[in-house]
């Protein structure tokens, strides 16, 4: 069932225009594969008490801001394939893993970016602090809470176990997640702003 849901999401997310643009621009391909590799490395470093209840840096907020949500989705798929190849993720749990770890945080990150872009002043500080730092923290917490709800719903763990051994970890991971994404985007918009798809020099640097 999870693979059917994943297939539907991917079919709606990755369109022909994005693939055509990706094929036509080698630099964009390099960026995509670089982001996929970084995601795979970040997701490889994890900690947890019970199977499936792992915490780790996601990094998807920065990837979403750099590539846009469609290519970020593709990068997360490639990262998961790498983890499958090295037996970090099992084939049975791969679809659930990518939905919880990547797709939900990616779509949340891009939605928050759209809301901030239209609702708040287009200022460099707002882009870095709200769209990168704060959004990354919220995205990781969202992943943990949605994951806890999923594991409780399917009966893998009771709510007490999830609360005491998983949910409280959101208080530990939000700051490292926010710092990593915030620093990454700060460096990107300063030194390579043309690589960041959601950053518009004329709008953010003119304020």
The whole-number pLDDT of residue 207 equals: 57
Mean pLDDT of all residues in the chain? 90
Indicate whether 139 pLDDT > 80: yes
State yes or no: pLDDT of 206 exceeds 90: no
Is the pLDDT reported for residue 81 higher than 70? yes
Q: What is the pLDDT of residues 3-41, one digit of tens each?
A: 888 888 888 888 877 778 888 878 889 999 999 999 999
> Whole-model pTM?
0.93
* 116-124: Cβ within 8 A, 24+ apart: 121/207, 122/200, 122/203, 122/204, 122/207, 123/204, 123/207, 124/189, 124/204, 124/205, 124/207
- Please, where are the H alpha helices in the chain? 2-13, 16-24, 26-44, 60-67, 69-85, 94-98, 104-119, 124-126, 135-153, 159-165, 170-191, 201-204
Q: Is the pLDDT of residue 146 over 70?
A: yes
Q: Say which CATH topology domain 2-204 has.
A: Arp2/3 complex 21 kDa subunit ARPC3 (1.10.1760)
Sign of the four-CA dihedral 132, 61, 47, 43: negative
pLDDT of residue 87: 83
Mean predicted confidence (pLDDT) in 108-137: 94
Task: Check residue 147 and give its pLDDT.
Answer: 94
Residue 49: how many CB atoms within 10 A of its CB? 12
* pLDDT of the residue at 174: 93
Please, what's the b/e burial string for 83-96 (b: 16 or more CB within 10 A of its CB; e: otherwise)? Answer: beeeeebeeeebbb
Per-residue pLDDT of 147-177, as tens digits, reads 999 999 999 899 998 998 899 888 889 999 9
């Amino acid at each position: 069932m999870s693979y059917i849901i994943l297939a539907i999401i991917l079919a709606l997310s990755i369109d022909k225009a994005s693939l055509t643009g990706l094929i036509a621009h080698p630099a964009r391909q390099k960026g995509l594969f670089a982001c996929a590799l970084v995601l795979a490395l970040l997701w490889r470093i994890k900690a947890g008490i019970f199977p499936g209840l792992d915490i780790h840096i996601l990094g998807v907020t920065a990837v979403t801001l750099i590539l846009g949500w469609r290519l970020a989705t593709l990068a997360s798929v490639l990262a998961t394939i790498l983890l499958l190849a090295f037996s970090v993720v099992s084939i049975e749990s791969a679809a659930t893993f990518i939905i919880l770890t990547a797709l939900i945080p990616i779509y949340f990150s891009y939605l928050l970016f759209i809301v901030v872009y239209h609702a708040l002043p287009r200022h460099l500080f707002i882009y870095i602090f709200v769209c990168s730092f704060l959004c990354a923290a919220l995205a990781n917490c969202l992943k943990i809470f949605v994951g806890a709800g999923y594991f409780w719903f399917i009966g893998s763990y009771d709510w007490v176990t999830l609360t005491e051994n998983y949910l409280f970890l959101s208080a530990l991971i939000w700051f490292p997640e926010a710092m990593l994404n915030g620093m990454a985007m700060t460096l990107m918009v300063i030194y390579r702003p043309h690589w960041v798809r959601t950053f518009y020099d004329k709008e953010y640097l003119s304020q």
